[in-house]
Chain A
Amino acid sequence: MSTQTARPVRTTVQAPPPPIPQPPRAPRQLTSKLAVHAVLLVFALYTLMPLTWLVIAATKNYRDLFATNPFALGDFNLWHNLGELLAYNDGIYSRWLANSVLYTVVGSLLSTLISVACGYAFDKYEFKGKESLFGLVLVGVLVPATVVQLPLYLLASEAGLVNTYWAVLIPSLVNPFGVYLARVFSEGYVPGEVLEAARVDGAGELRTFVSVSLPMLAPGFMTIFLFSFTASWNNFYGALMMLNDEELYPVNLGLYAWQKSVYQQPELYPLVIIGALVAVLPLIVAFLCLQRFWRSGLTAGAVK
């Protein structure tokens, strides 16, 4: 798990406003602008350095990793390392990658659908006990998943689910915060009149949801999906508890297992490094492509 709970904040992004007319004190302003950008650049070096190092290190073999300057290129072994990674232990790494995709992509899709349906129902229907039921959801938002992890393990082991795909997949389907967000999004994106119109046209409730409301909720769906996705991609504590069988590991647990044995088998170093790179790259690409949604998740909506 990460060290903070992700959530959106009650602020809205506005288009950049026209610049404020400044009194003419050009030379001082120029120096201060330069200073501002210098500080920002130094900090950018701090945030980008580890990833840059990772890319360079992934091109080195074991000997060069320790023998050459960390930022200098050694012999170019990127493809060799990649081959080793995919071949090691009968291709266990690709198995982990596939597991990660199952836990995160499939898990988050289902989880988002479940949350959106539930939040939508909270917004669009009236029934007895609705607000107290929603209170229960809010309690769920406040209880961190990590805190429930050991109790969950105890229950799963009683139910015989430990060391199965289900042990990681099922918990990832529950996202109370997603339900909360979905209710907010549904209030904002789906006007009641549209539902009325669909009903008058004779569409059933489920049909209305699937073909009218869900498309209108698409941006919200994406935002909740990304929250859920990040949470499950980060879920190390849960997988560590639930899984013993290497075949079921997600990538992060597999890398941890290699890292633990790296001190006895130093030849695993290049594998951990290239393995980390391969695990991170798709996320960075996804992040760059989906920036708009990350940002709206961070800044749109409203919270508590």
Chain B
Amino acid sequence: MAVQLARPVKSLATGGSSSSRRRHQRGAVALFMVPFFVLFAAVTLAPLGYAAWMSLFREESSGLGFGGTERVFAGIGNFTEALTDPAFLGSFGHIAVYCLIYIPVMIGGALALALLVDSALTRAKRFFQIAYYLPHAVPGLVASIIWLYLYTPGLSPVTEALQGLGVHWNFFGADEALYSIVNVSAWQWIGYNMIIFYAGLQAIPRETLEAATVDGAGAFRTAFQVKVPMIRSTVVLTLLFTCVGAIQLFDAPKLIQLRATELGSEWSPTMYIYAQAFESRDYGLAAAASLLLALVAGLLSFVVTKLGNRWKAAA
């Protein structure tokens, strides 16, 4: 680590034994930084390197399969296997469809709520912010369990109410399960993102809004032609984080899949990796899939950032 040449910054008062002070500061920098970087190397860099190594090998059963397995060099075999595996590619397809439904619902919902809360009575504002943000305090797995029960006929007030309305909706059906997963995510995140958008709205200079009112713009026009454009960079940033989050989706589908068995255990990329490693015991393939997922996540961040920048530049 390059911490050898520590010296004081913003040094106003120099003097005295500056070389011994410099030595002390060098020691301090090392003391402050070494714990993080040692752990960072052990927990992020080393595993990625190790996974790259592991991904080059394949477990092969020797002989008739009685003698256990041995590790053989596979080159890029695991990568080609993952990339031609319909289950792996399909898991990305599932996430894409999930995003198509989830992102408009979540971003649209959060934005609408933020605009509405912005025009609510002051005292109500506080209550609604707390009420909407509260689901975010619930751990993802517990949220998934609660909703799993709320989807379960007999236990749930929701299914009961739907039946009362004459609606037949099977939350665990092959097609409906996707919406069940979207709902869990939306419940957890709409309020969180609403708070972020709301804070953005609060930061809009009041003169701008007054000018719009003076120019005769109604509430709707002010909302969509003044307020939303002013927080578009926040919206883009949220979109980016939502996509990066979606690609890691695990808890909700894993839980919903306990009942909606048609989803299969390889529904999302992270579920696929888990299944390869812990059900098929194919570590090489799982390592290759992990690295591919890391690549996709990185590219995704990059693309959405670029897109966001272009949008901002056009504004």
Contacts and interface: CB of A to CB of B under 8 A. Distances in A.
**A and B together in one complex:** yes
Interface of A: 1-7, 9-14, 16-18, 20, 22, 32-33, 36-37, 39-40, 43-44, 46-51, 53-54, 57, 65-66, 69-71, 114-115, 117-118, 120-122, 124-130, 132-133, 136-137, 140, 142-144, 146-155, 158, 170-171, 173-174, 176, 179, 192-193, 195-196, 199-200, 204-206, 209, 233-234, 236-237, 240-241, 252, 255-256, 259-260, 263, 269, 272-273, 276, 279-280, 283-284, 286-288, 291, 294-295, 298-299, 303
Given A51-B134, A234-B140, 6 more contacts: A3-B246, A11-B200, A22-B213, A126-B7, A126-B8, A150-B277
Interface in B228-253: 234, 237-238, 241-242, 244-252
B138 A51 contact: yes
B258 A260 contact: yes
Interface string B3-24: 1111111111100000001001
B141 A252 contact: yes
B91 interface: no
Interface residues of B, number: 120
A147 B145 contact: no
Interface stretch (B66-74, B82-90, B148-156, B171-179): B148-156
Contacts of A47: 131-132, 134-135, 187, 190-191
B172 to A, nearest CB: 13
Given A128-B4, A192-B10, A158 B50 contact: yes
A280 B145 contact: no
Contact of A196 (B12, B25, B131, B148): B12
A9 B237 contact: yes
A115 B32 CA distance: 9
B120 A2 contact: no
Contacts of B7: 125-127
B157 A53 contact: yes
24 contacts: A3-B248, A11-B199, A12-B203, A20-B209, A44-B131, A51-B135, A53-B149, A69-B157, A117-B31, A117-B36, A118-B32, A144-B247, A150-B287, A151-B290, A154-B287, A174-B44, A205-B28, A205-B31, A236-B251, A237-B251, A237-B274, A241-B274, A280-B137, A298-B192
Interface of B: 1-13, 21, 24-29, 31-33, 35-37, 39-40, 42-44, 46-48, 50-51, 54, 113, 116-117, 119-122, 124, 127-128, 130-135, 137-143, 145-150, 154-157, 160, 185, 187-192, 195-196, 199-200, 202-203, 206, 209-210, 213, 219, 234, 237-238, 241-242, 244-252, 255, 258, 270, 273-274, 277-278, 283, 286-287, 290-291, 293-294, 297-298, 301
Contacts of B25: 125, 205
Given A11-B200, A40-B120, A150 B248 contact: no
B241 A120 contact: no
Minimum-distance CB pairs A-B, first 9: A129-B2, A205-B28, A4-B245, A151-B51, A151-B47, A192-B10, A70-B157, A121-B32, A118-B36
Contacts of A276: 142, 145-146
B108 to A, nearest CB: 13
A127 B114 CA distance: 44
A69 B155 CA distance: 8
Contact of A150 (B6, B51, B196): B51
Contacts of A40: 113, 116-117, 120, 124, 128
A263 B242 CA distance: 33
Nearest to A120: B32
Nearest to A123: B9
Chain A CB within 10 A, most for which of B141, B187, B250: B141
B141 to A, nearest CB: 4
Contacts of A140: 40, 44
A151 B117 CA distance: 44
Nearest to B128: A40
B35 A118 contact: yes
Contacts of B189: 2-4
Contacts of A150: 51, 273-274, 277, 286-287, 290
A30 B287 CA distance: 60
Contacts of A240: 274
A295 B195 contact: yes
